Amino acid sequence: MKSIIEDLNKAFENKVRLGVMSILVVNEFKDFNSLKELLQVTDGNLASHIKSLEKLEYVDVEKKFVDRKPRTEYRVTEQGRLAFKKHIAAIEKLLK
């Protein structure tokens, strides 16, 4: 039991962070507004959760200009993908 709880990742306890990771592991990248629309959260809320995932080096941020408008794209890092996989595996084990 103990080891399962250790495998559960605190970073993914929050629904918004969990949602961001779920979206990014199946998409090459997503921009800020698409994430906001999918998750139905406010700018500030989303930004702070992404920031914390960034700090853990689970997501990469790329800022670019499309038609002279700034656009921020997010993608999951290899480290983030592994951590997320481990988290899901732990949930599945726990529910068994």
Partner 1 sequence: MENAKEKYIEDLKVIRSMMDRSGRFISLSGMAGVIAGCIALLCAYLAYELVYEGQEYFSYRQFSATRSELLLLLALGTSAILSSLGAGYWLTRRKAKQNGQSVWGSESKQFMASFFPALITGGLLVLILLAKGFLGLVAPLCLLFYGLALVNASKYTLKETRGLGVIEIILGLLGIYFIGYGLAFWALGFGLAHIGYGIYMHLKYDA
Site residues (CB under 8 A) for partner 1? 12, 15, 18-19, 22-23, 25-27, 30-31, 34, 37-40, 88, 91, 94-95
CA distance linking residue 59 with residue 77, whole number of Å = 5
| Tokens 């080891």, residue located | 3
User: How do beta strands 59-66 and 30-31 pair?
Assistant: unpaired
Residue 51 or 71: the one with the smaller Cβ distance to partner 1 is 71
> Is the Cβ–Cβ distance between 88 and 8 less than 8 Å?
no
* Minimum distance from residue 8 beta carbon to partner 1 (Å): 8
Residue 3 or 40: the one with the smaller Cβ distance to partner 1 is 40
3-state secondary structure of 64: strand
* Minimum distance from residue 73 beta carbon to partner 1 (Å): 11
* Minimum distance from residue 22 beta carbon to partner 1 (Å): 4
